[in-house]
Every structure is written in structure tokens, then in C-alpha cells.
């Protein structure tokens, strides 16, 4: 219920949300993505769909189905959009389209508003029945492979609007573009308050010592998240400061590279007893919450990043954060105010030691970070944005024109 957010979320968001809820009462709002578990998109949808329903909107969430071959192809598309060199053949593009075509038959695509998340289900637009269709891109498009974006563009152009997480990902397109950063839910198991006992219980379960500084990164095992760089950072810090490192991740069904990356990370960690590599099952939200709350410093040392929900999650828990200066991370980390942005392992190690040696500064930045998240990155703000722009798209024919 939205009323539970009173006193937590900014009032301006709640007021607008209530009005928009009335405007869309009884309307159907369909979200489609490619995994029910793992990664930020699923994380948000799990929480947002019931909240939209509580506003009286008939929101639904569908997940496209694909086999290993499909997800290998879509991971290549994802990697190429984030700047990697990938060879995607015509046959692969055709298979990508065929799987979407099959899904279009199985999924009820009828809705007043449809939000398609990320490239995996983007071709569904060709099977549009009714309503307004919006494509929502969550990935880092700062330097996409032109070949792959050209292949996707014919689909993108057919949408009524496109949403990016970060202004610099937007590009000249013949369709309306909007910027909506993602968000976290302060009332979810992932982010709610926990007791000391609960935190201790999780530390015991994973045998993490609470009497030593804990460095943490929570993320899928994905090379763009730079887990190896995190271990290198920890090793540099460890020369001067005692600490343990926790790398926690769980598999995502639409990410076939996870296992290989996990193996690389294990090998690189070389049985260091102070490196805890935790492969968590999906929906380990309370455990992750506890890990973030017991951490002394939280990393998101990504090399490319759509947004990086883990940064806001840690900031909400008052933790000092260190993040790669990529994608959506600089939206959350105001350098030197709500955390530190870094560009290298050396930078990360330097800032980590600064936090470990200045607990007061770390505490102050953590507190500022929490307030920054409250104002900007809670789920109520994101719902407000989605509904506002859906309203704008609905009413575009009535003469509202968007121009930057």
C-alpha cells in the first residue's frame, strides 16, 4: 500500500502518485522482461507490480521464455551495447526474432500501457495489439557497438517512447525519449530495517567475522562488475589495513556467463581465507540486506553499469560507498559527498583506506547518502515517473509536444 510510504518517501511523490493512480484506475499496464530472478529489473518489478495494483491499476508482469541459444545471443547483444566487440551473425538475429515471435503467441500482449524492458524482448513491438508501447533500456549505452544498435533501431523506432536510466545514454531518435533512473524499495526484505540479532545470524551462517572491517560487493558474476578488480583492490588495502572481503552474487536465468566468471573469481581468490565468495540462491534478499548492513565499505566497482541498484541499497543503509564512475553510478554518488567515484584499482584502494582510517567521515557520508537516496531513488519516485510519462504519451495527441 502506498500509504505505508508516508513519512519515508517525499510527500511530493506520494501526492502526485495518488492523483496519477486515480487517472489510471482500472487501466491495464503490462511489463515484459526476460527473467524473474537476478538483476535489477526483476528486483524492481517484484515490488512495483503489487504497488501499482494497490493504486487500482491492473498491472501484470510477463517473462519471455528462451533457450540457452537465445540467452547466449541476447547476452552478446547486451555486451555489444555495453561496448564489447561481438560477432552477431544474421542467423543469430533471425533466431532472436523467432524466439520473440513465439513468445508473442504465448503472452497476452493486450494492455493499455506496455513497458518492455531491455533488448531481449524488444522485437515484441512487431506484435503490438493496442495501447501505448514504451521501451525501457536499463543498460549502459555510453559506447554501444554501432552495428548492434543499428540492428535494434528499427524496433526502437516503433515504440511510442523510450526510457533510459541516465541522460547521457539518450541519442537522437525519431521517438520521444525520457530519463527515469531506477529505484529501491525501502520496505522490501532487501532494504527494511533488521535487528542486530538478525545481522549476527547471517554473519554466523556465512562465517563472516563481525570484529574486522568488511569490504563488500554484491553483484551478478559478470565481468562488467569487475569482481577481479575488487579482489585486487582488497589485496592493496590489506597491505596496510586488516579487512575481509565478501563477494556475494546469485545467478540470473538470462545471464549464461555467470558460471564461467564465478570460476575465474574463485581461481583468482586462490583460497584466501579472508575472501568470502558467496553464491546465493535467488531471493536471498534478507541475507543481502544483512551483508550490506554488516559491511564497513561497499563497492560497486563496475566498468560499465546501467544504474547499479546496489549503490542505492548500500547508501540507504548509511554505508560509505565506492563506485566506478560509469553509467548510473555518478547519479547516485556525488563524489566526496555521498561516496567516492573511482577510475582504477589504485583509486579504489586509496578511497577504501580513507574510509577505514576515518570512521567519522565514513559515517557522515553514509548519512548524507541515505538522505540522497530518500529524495531521489525510492520506488515511489520511479512509479510517479512511469505514470507521469505514460500520461504524457497518452495525451500527446492532444497537443503536448516534447522537445529538448
Q: Does 74 bind ligand UDP (CB under 6 A)?
A: no
Q: Does 250 bind ligand UDP (CB under 6 A)?
A: yes
Burial code (b: 16+ CB inside 10 Å, e: under 16) for 111-142 equals bbbbbbbbbbbbbbbeebeebbbbbbbbbbbe
Stretch that binds ligand UDP, among 57-65, 119-127, 165-173, 309-317 (CB under 6 A): 309-317
CB of 245 to ligand UDP, least distance (A): 15
Q: Does 191 bind ligand UDP (CB under 6 A)?
A: no
Sign of CA dihedral 305, 309, 310, 312: positive
Measured between alpha carbons, how far is 188 from 199 in angstroms, rounded to an integer?
16
Q: Which of 199, 280, 303, 334 binds ligand UDP (CB under 6 A)?
A: 280
Order of strands across the sheet that contains 214-218: 275-279, 244-249, 214-218, 297-300, 321-324, 340-342
Q: Which of 218, 247, 348, 383 binds ligand UDP (CB under 6 A)?
A: 218
CB of 252 to ligand UDP, least distance (A): 7
Measured between alpha carbons, how far is 168 from 313 in angstroms, rounded to an integer?
23
Q: Does 220 bind ligand UDP (CB under 6 A)?
A: yes
DSSP at 281: P
Measured between alpha carbons, how far is 122 from 104 in angstroms, rounded to an integer?
11
Q: Does 48 bind ligand UDP (CB under 6 A)?
A: no
Residue with cell 553509467: 327
Which CB atom, from 38 or from 131, has the smaller least distance to ligand UDP?
A: 38
Q: Does 310 bind ligand UDP (CB under 6 A)?
A: yes
Residues 104-163 that bind ligand UDP (CB under 6 A): none
Stretch that binds ligand UDP, among 94-102, 308-316, 348-356, 377-385 (CB under 6 A): 308-316
Q: Does 338 bind ligand UDP (CB under 6 A)?
A: no
Which CB atom, from 39 or from 213, has the smaller least distance to ligand UDP?
A: 39
Order of strands across the sheet that contains 58-63: 58-63, 28-33, 113-117, 132-137, 161-164, 176-179
Q: Does 288 bind ligand UDP (CB under 6 A)?
A: yes
Q: Which of 113, 227, 249, 327 binds ligand UDP (CB under 6 A)?
A: 249
Measured between alpha carbons, how far is 389 from 162 in angstroms, rounded to an integer?
10
Binding site for ligand UDP (CB under 6 A): 39-40, 43, 190, 218-220, 248-250, 280, 284, 288, 306-310, 313
Amino acid at each position: 500500500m502506498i500509504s505505508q510510504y508516508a513519512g519515508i518517501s517525499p510527500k511530493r511523490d506520494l501526492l502526485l502518485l495518488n492523483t496519477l493512480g486515480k487517472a489510471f484506475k482500472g487501466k491495464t499496464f503490462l511489463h515484459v522482461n526476460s527473467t524473474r530472478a537476478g538483476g535489477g529489473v526483476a528486483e524492481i518489478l517484484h515490488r512495483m507490480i503489487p504497488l501499482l495494483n494497490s493504486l487500482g491499476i491492473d498491472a501484470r508482469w510477463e517473462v519471455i521464455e528462451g533457450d540457452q541459444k537465445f540467452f547466449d545471443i541476447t547476452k552478446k547483444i547486451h555486451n555489444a551495447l555495453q561496448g564489447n566487440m561481438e560477432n552477431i551473425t544474421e542467423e543469430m538475429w533471425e533466431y532472436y526474432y523467432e524466439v520473440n515471435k513465439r513468445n508473442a503467441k504465448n503472452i497476452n500482449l493486450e494492455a493499455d500501457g506496455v513497458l518492455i524492458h531491455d533488448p531481449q524482448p524488444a522485437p515484441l513491438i512487431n506484435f503490438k495489439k493496442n495501447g501505448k508501447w514504451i521501451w525501457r533500456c536499463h543498460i549502459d549505452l555510453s559506447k554501444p557497438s554501432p552495428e548492434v544498435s543499428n540492428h535494434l533501431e528499427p524496433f526502437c523506432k516503433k515504440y511510442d517512447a523510450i526510457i533510459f536510466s541516465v541522460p547521457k545514454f539518450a541519442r537522437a531518435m525519431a521517438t520521444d525519449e525520457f530519463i527515469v533512473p531506477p529505484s529501491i524499495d525501502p520496505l522490501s526484505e532487501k532494504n527494511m530495517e533488521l535487528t542486530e540479532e538478525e545481522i549476527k545470524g547471517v554473519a554466523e551462517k556465512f562465517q563472516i567475522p563481525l570484529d574486522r572491517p568488511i569490504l563488500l560487493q554484491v553483484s551478478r558474476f559478470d565481468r562488467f562488475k569487475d569482481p577481479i578488480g575488487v579482489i585486487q583492490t582488497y589485496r592493496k588495502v590489506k597491505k596496510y589495513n586488516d579487512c575481509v572481503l565478501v563477494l556475494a552474487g546469485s545467478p540470473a536465468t538470462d545471464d549464461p556467463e555467470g558460471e564461467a566468471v564465478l570460476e575465474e573469481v574463485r581461481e583468482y581468490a586462490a583460497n584466501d581465507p579472508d575472501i568470502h565468495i558467496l553464491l546465493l540462491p535467488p531471493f536471498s534478499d534478507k541475507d543481502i540486506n544483512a551483508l550490506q548492513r554488516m559491511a564497513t565499505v561497499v563497492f560497486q566497482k563496475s566498468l560499465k553499469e546501467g544504474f547499479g541498484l546496489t549503490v542505492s541499497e548500500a547508501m540507504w543503509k548509511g554505508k560509505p560507498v565506492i563506485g566506478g564512475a560509469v553509467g548510473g553510478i555518478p547519479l547516485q554518488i556525488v563524489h566526496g559527498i555521498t561516496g567516492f567515484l573511482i577510475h582504477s584499482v589504485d583509486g579504489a584502494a586509496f578511497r577504501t583506506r580513507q574510509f577505514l582510517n576515518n570512521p567519522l567521515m565514513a559515517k557522515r557520508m553514509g548519512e548524507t547518502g541515505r538522505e540522497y537516496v530518500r529524495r531521489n531513488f525510492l520506488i515511489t519516485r520511479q512509479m510517479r515517473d512511469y505514470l507521469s510519462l505514460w500520461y504524457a504519451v497518452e495525451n500527446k495527441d492532444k497537443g503536448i509536444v516534447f522537445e529538448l
